[in-house]
Each structure stands twice: as structure tokens, then as C-alpha cells.
Structure 1
């Protein structure tokens, strides 16, 4: 066995010990994304997606405004309102207010954006469905770009961008019902327990167990809004009892869990 030390308290067996993990699918599985072509500039809490370019020419940039000013972009070919459950989606809440991506830097984004613009400008069968699906891919590629860029601010985006910590976060996102302990999560990240605990708090801004509880409750609220029963949801997100779940839910959201909570 070859051990590789890459920093204080960080030791992995080999570069191939940990295969790549998917940092985004859990969010797309948990939260629903909807898009509508923007007809007004009324602030309604939704993110805005601007496809920017010269009139009659190809798209050059994508601007995603996750929150804040939604004033019109004069050079926008297409403006869309994007609802990715921003008020409840921790990834959307972790994004900076504005993200700008040059479409030519990402070939897949360039091609998808071209298809999105073509569908938006024409009235063809299945237009609404096509716009939703294409916009979902556009948003996914922008989120992927944001994760690749990283951030210096503590939070979820910084954790997902970290070369090792993101493995522990993905494990929690993908398996919230598992009884994760600090040793398990440190092993997922390839670190000693002490270093993992300190680094997680520094980068993500909270403890692993607090983050896990928050994610479980976030998933639980989504299940409740879809009509699931409180007792079933408590079990499905890893709580030992409905009573423990209800207390934790109240502490986080300020009200007791209920169907369509």
C-alpha cells in the first residue's frame, strides 16, 4: 500500500483511491427547476438568466443573477426567470449575487445556449418543455463553473469546491439517512479526524453534524410539501423518532412539521 501525505493531517493511499464524485445531482434530484421567458422586470424572488450577445448574432455570455437587482440587460438576447427553489435550495443560497460565464469557454454551454436561444425565438411544438430542459442544462453548467471557480467565503460553495472536503459533503447529500459520524466523514475526505473537523468548520462555516442535520431537514421539508407523512419523512431522512425530527425541524424553521409544510 502506497501512502501519500499531501498536508498536515491529510493522508491518502493513492491518487486513484477516490474516484470522481458528482457534486450536483443531489440538488437536481431534490429541488425542482422551472424557467419562464421574462415578460417583466418585477422582482419576485426568482433568479434571472440573461443570454447576452449582439442582436442577430450568437450568444457571447451568460449572466445569472441569483438575487438582488433584476434590472434589464440592454444587450440580452433572451431574459428568463429561473426558479430553482432559491429560498429553500442551499446551493442557490450559496452562490454569489452575480455569475458571468463566457459561453465560448465551455463548448457544451455554447451549443446548449444556441439551442436555448433558437427555441426561445421560435414558436414550435413542445417549446415550453424544450426551454425547461435546455435551461436546466444551462443552469447546471453555470453551477459547475461556479464550483470550479470556488470562493474565499466560507459556505457550501467553498466546501463543494474543496478538493477533499467535497467528498464528505457529497456523501451526506447522497445518503442522508446513513448514521454518519465524524470518523466516517473524515475517511471519505482522506483526512485525520481532527484535521477534517477543523478544516470543515473553517471552509464550510459549521460542523459536519450540524450541516448533515440541516441537509436532512431541507430534504424533509421537500418531502412534506409533496404530501409525505411526518413519521415517514422522519424515518426517510435519518431521524430516530418523529419526536426528535419534529424538535429539530422546529429549531430550524420556526414551526412544526406538517404535510405541505
Structure 2
């Protein structure tokens, strides 16, 4: 690493790595604090774990590969949710990590393309974080596991940010989060699933008429607002049940009018009642 990279690494460690635990706090600047946050809800809803390995870990949701040169300088960051392509001949795989981020329940991971490549020369902050990640991975020091986990979390978050900012060409969650108006309605659902959302309410949040909102949501996200809302509620409920939560309390927390209504929706979605998930 160069002296500049080491200096940036020290700055990151002192200001962010050990000083903030909220992913939003890690990357948001004061100037952007009032913007609608399209990612933090996913980092609250799903636990993220990292396994450092040269080969993909069985059952991992994704794989992050740092490509660089013989001087261990990071050049590209690759996020793979499918089979990774071979790196360019001039690049070496410096570090690789397998990531678990909620499994098939996480709609954000499911919406990603098979491979995302980020040129670190275009993103100096992400390059500094990646350099810190490489240095931690290649040098055994106290707190290494915690440092790698936090650094990888920020790297993944910033990659996802670039994917969303870049837009999506096919209908789905990424297209919705990239949409200049619809993303506000999606964030409202993610942040407050317990609210009795009506189509009119979500259209108002998006700044659209009801008819315009319904047509645009279906065309962009690929489903209706009510279907997406129910799926998000059930996903949160399933995670809470797996952690031993009580059915009645969970039903209320995620926005169902009653435990019986929740149980019927759960059975339709997963093919078995919520008690099965709670007891498994």
C-alpha cells in the first residue's frame, strides 16, 4: 500500500470503523442526511456475516473478490451472486470473501445481477476502504474478524449504492429503488410495514396520482403495491418467528389486523402455518 492509502486507512479506522455501528452513519454525509435512505432497512432486517476463503463457502449468498496488482494495490471490486467470470489477465485476486446476507428471503440480494464490477479508480473512498480490507485480511492482528466484518459490510453497502444509482433495465426491486419517484414509496413500506398503507397513501408519498402510481409500480417493480407490501411483511414475520417470536405479537408488529389473518396469509405464501417456522 502507498503512504496515501495507509493514511486514508488510519482515517477510516479512527472515524468510522470503530466509531459507528449504524451502516447509515458509516457512509452518509451531513449534506445527504435528509435524503430518502434506500438501503438501511435491508441492513436492519438481515444479518450480515463474512467468511474469508479462497473458494466460495457452501450456501453463501454472494462473494466479494478484490482484484489488484502484484503490489497488493486494489484495482477492481467484484460482487458475484452467480458464477464469477475470470478476472483480466493483468489482475490478481488479492482477497476473497463469502457473504451471507439473509439468504433467499432477502429480496435485494435476489434482485442483483450475477456479477457487479466496480472500478475503484472511479471511487476513491471505496478504494480506501478496500485497501483497508486487504491489509486486514493479509495481516493477522487482534480484532481482525470484527474489522473484516465491518469493512465488508461497508463495501457491500457501497457496491449496492452504485448498482441502484446506475439504474436497472428489467422490472424488479432494483428498478423500483432506482426510480426517481417510486423509491420513496418502497422506502416507506420498508421503514413502516406496520402502517395500514392504502394505495392512495403510497401514491402520495411518491408524489404521483393513484392511477399513475399503480401503472408505474406494476411496470417498474413487476407486481402491485399491495402484493409487495404483503411479501415484505411476511418476510419480516418469518425471520421473527425463526427467532422465537410469538405469533400474535409478530402479526401486529408487521401490520396484520389479526393473528388469524396473518396465519392465512403465511400459509398461502409458504405452504405451512407460522407455528411450523416458530417450532423448527
Report the secondary structure of 1:163's partner residue.
Answer: coil
Partner residue, 2:16: none
In the alignment, is residue 33 of structure 1 matched against residue 15 of structure 2? Answer: no
Match runs of 1:107-186 below 5 Å: 107-186=124-203
1-side partners of 2:171 and 2:269: how far apart?
20
* TM-superposed deviation, 1:152: 1.0
Task: Tell me the C-alpha RMSD between the 2 structures.
Answer: 1.5
User: C-alpha deviations, 1:151-180, integer Å up to 9, x for none?
Assistant: 111000000000000000000000000001
Q: For 2:70, which of 38, 48, 55 is the aligned residue?
A: 55
In the alignment, is residue 46 of structure 1 matched against residue 61 of structure 2? Answer: yes
Partner residue, 1:16: none
Change (3 A) 1:78 1:23: same
* TM-superposed deviation, 1:257: 0.9
Report the secondary structure of 2:97's partner residue.
Answer: strand
Partner residue, 2:218: 201
List structure 1 runs of 4+ shifted beyond 6 angstroms: none
1-side partners of 2:247 and 2:118: how far apart?
41
Report the secondary structure of 1:60's partner residue.
Answer: strand
Unaligned runs of 5+ in 2: 1-33
User: C-alpha deviations, 1:45-102, integer Å up to 9, x for none?
Assistant: 4311100011223101110001x22577572100100111231100000111110011
2-side partners of 1:39 and 1:254: how far apart?
38
Unaligned runs of 5+ in 1: 1-18
1-side partners of 2:207 and 2:64: how far apart?
37
Report the secondary structure of 2:71's partner residue.
Answer: coil
Partner residue, 1:6: none
2-side partners of 1:140 and 1:122: how far apart?
24
Change (3 A) 1:76 1:260: farther
User: C-alpha deviations, 1:176-228, integer Å up to 9, x for none?
Assistant: 00001011100001111000000000000000011000000011111112211
Q: Is the 8 A contact 1:26 1:174 kept in 2?
A: yes
* TM-superposed deviation, 1:106: 1.6
Report the secondary structure of 1:81's partner residue.
Answer: strand
**Deviates most, 79-88 or 203-212:** 79-88
Change (3 A) 1:42 1:129: closer
2-side partners of 1:55 and 1:211: how far apart?
47
Q: Is the 8 A contact 1:34 1:132 kept in 2?
A: yes
Report the secondary structure of 1:82's partner residue.
Answer: strand
2-side partners of 1:106 and 1:75: how far apart?
20
Report the secondary structure of 2:220's partner residue.
Answer: helix
TM-score computed with the length of structure 1 as normaliser: 0.89
2-side partners of 1:260 and 1:45: how far apart?
25
2-side partners of 1:168 and 1:246: how far apart?
26
In the alignment, is residue 254 of structure 1 matched against residue 278 of structure 2? Answer: no
2-side partners of 1:160 and 1:83: how far apart?
22
